[in-house]
Amino acid sequence: MNREYQINRFLEGQGFNVVTMIVFIALAVAGCVLTGFPVSADDSGLCLPSGNLWLQGGTLSMTINAACIVAVGYLFKHLNRLHGFIRADASIALSAFLMLESATPAVNGVLFEGTIMLVVVAVSAYILFDSYQQRVSQRSIFMVFALLGGYAMFQFSALYLVLVFFLGFVQMRVMRLRGLIAMMLGLFTPYWILYGFGVISYADFKTAVINDSWQPGGMEWRLVGTCAVTALATLSLLMSNMMRIISYNAKRRACNGFFSVLTVTTIVMMCFDYRDIHIYLPVLNLCLAVQVGHSFTISGSDRKYIPILLLLVACAGMCIFNISQGL
């Protein structure tokens, strides 16, 4: 076996998953220790406190956040084994996702709305993909939109996911009249339940506010740069992979169509909801990791490991820079 083959085998194996997972956890700890546990007082829930207010920094928050990110990565790896949206084992996508999350250790170091949104997307996608061409899909539709409606109580930004998953169920060929009814019932059921038990009232509801790019304020431009580079890389790989993806079978095209819609809508929301741009970064990192997995699988070059190593170097450089600047 030549050297290139051995390197490629290592990068697409479980050994590299373990290495990147250890590095991610170590950098998250280092980022929090060196820059302090970031605490945000922003409350963007429609009627309940946002996720960043659940645990105000600290070791427990950091531990739960890291566990959620690693769990989501392995969940998508398992999801690919079930549905094959990437034409190979998704180990390289998992490693890429953990590398990308390592680039901003202080932001991703504690539990915040972005990680919670990532978990919601992962669980909802698991249900979505499993519903492909089901004759009786109303239960799946109801569960997904009940989850989205419930999360919107804590973070109004999640409302954009309603459109994403509506189009996702259309791509899965299950959205019909009964599906629309199940969707509406799912969205409003969490509110009916909490209102019925007296947990919330009409006075608790707040108006959703979009912090757009035209508003002045102290936005962290280093974070904006990180998000911009991630968005450009994701769109570039998405377009380069598109011609090969459209040759896949119908189910694979439907699953990858969902990731395409999720990518575009997430980038649009990052542009409009400017000051909350960090909330969307974990989801965008996941979308980029999927495209990295496609590129690595599609490439027939013996040196396809080079872009992965460049990504590793870029993420390490961004991580060191962000820690040195307190981000």
What DSSP string runs through 83-138? H-SSSS-THHHHHHHHHHHHTSTTTTSS--HHHHHHHHHHHHHHHHHHTTT-SS-H
Per-residue pLDDT reduced to its tens digit, 70-128? 999 999 999 999 998 998 777 899 999 999 998 887 666 778 888 999 999 999 999 99
Average pLDDT for the chain? 83
Lowest-confidence pick of 105-119, 154-168, 213-227, 228-242: 213-227
Residues constituting the chain: 327
Q: Taking 60 as the threshold, does the pLDDT of residue 39 lie above it?
A: no
Residue type at 190 in one-letter notation: P
Per-residue pLDDT reduced to its tens digit, 306-325? 888 888 888 888 887 777 76
Number of folded domains in the chain?
1
How far apart, in whole angstroms, are the C-alpha atoms of residue 247 and residue 256? 12
**Which residue segment(s) compose the domain that 90 sits in?**
3-324
| Cβ atoms of 293 and 74 closer than 8 Å | no
Where residue 218 falls among pLDDT bands split at 50, 70, 90?
A: very low
